[in-house]
Amino acid sequence: MRMLGVVVVIFIAAPLLIVVPMSFSSARSLQFPPPGYWLGYYQAYFTDLTWLRPTWNSIVIATATMVLTMVLVVPATFALVRHRFAGKSIADLMMLMPLAVPHIVMAVGYYSFLGEYRLVHTHIGVVLAHTCLSVPIAFLVLSANLKGFDRTLERAAQSLGASPIKTFIHVTLPILRPGLVISALFAFVQSFDETVVAIFISGRNAETLPRKMFDSIRQEADPVIAVISTLLFAAVLLALLAPAGWKGIRSRLRARTPPTAITTGR
Q: Which spans of this chain sit near other proteins (rule: CB under 8 A)?
A: 150, 152-153, 155-164, 166-167, 170-171, 174-175, 259-260, 262-266
Residues 6+ apart with CB under 8 A from 205: 121, 122, 123
Peptide bond into 259 cis (omega under 30): no
Shortest distance, position 165 Cβ to other proteins, whole Å: 10
Name the residue nearer to other proteins (CB basis): 28 or 166.
Answer: 166
Instruction: For residue 146, give the nearest of 93, 91, 190, 183 by alpha carbon.
Output: 183
145 within 8 A of 176, measured Cβ to Cβ: yes
Shortest distance, position 161 Cβ to other proteins, whole Å: 4
Shortest distance, position 260 Cβ to other proteins, whole Å: 7
d(CA 4, CA 24): 32
Instruction: For residue 53, give the nearest of 220, 233, 181, 202 by alpha carbon.
Output: 202
Name the residue nearer to other proteins (CB basis): 5 or 161.
Answer: 161
Count of helices and strands (H, E) across the chain: 12, 0
Shortest distance, position 179 Cβ to other proteins, whole Å: 13
Name the residue nearer to other proteins (CB basis): 219 or 260.
Answer: 260
Name the residue nearer to other proteins (CB basis): 83 or 204.
Answer: 83
Shortest distance, position 254 Cβ to other proteins, whole Å: 9
Name the residue nearer to other proteins (CB basis): 115 or 164.
Answer: 164
Name the residue nearer to other proteins (CB basis): 122 or 158.
Answer: 158
d(CA 129, CA 105): 12
d(CA 210, CA 199): 9
Shortest distance, position 145 Cβ to other proteins, whole Å: 13
d(CA 216, CA 129): 23
Q: Which residues does residue 25 pair with via DSSP β-bridges, in sequence order?
A: 37
Shortest distance, position 154 Cβ to other proteins, whole Å: 9
* Burial group, residue 130, by CB count within 10 angstroms (0-12, 13-18, 19+): buried
Q: Phi and psi at residue 25, in whole multiples of 5°? A: -75, 155
d(CA 53, CA 151): 46
Name the residue nearer to other proteins (CB basis): 10 or 262.
Answer: 262
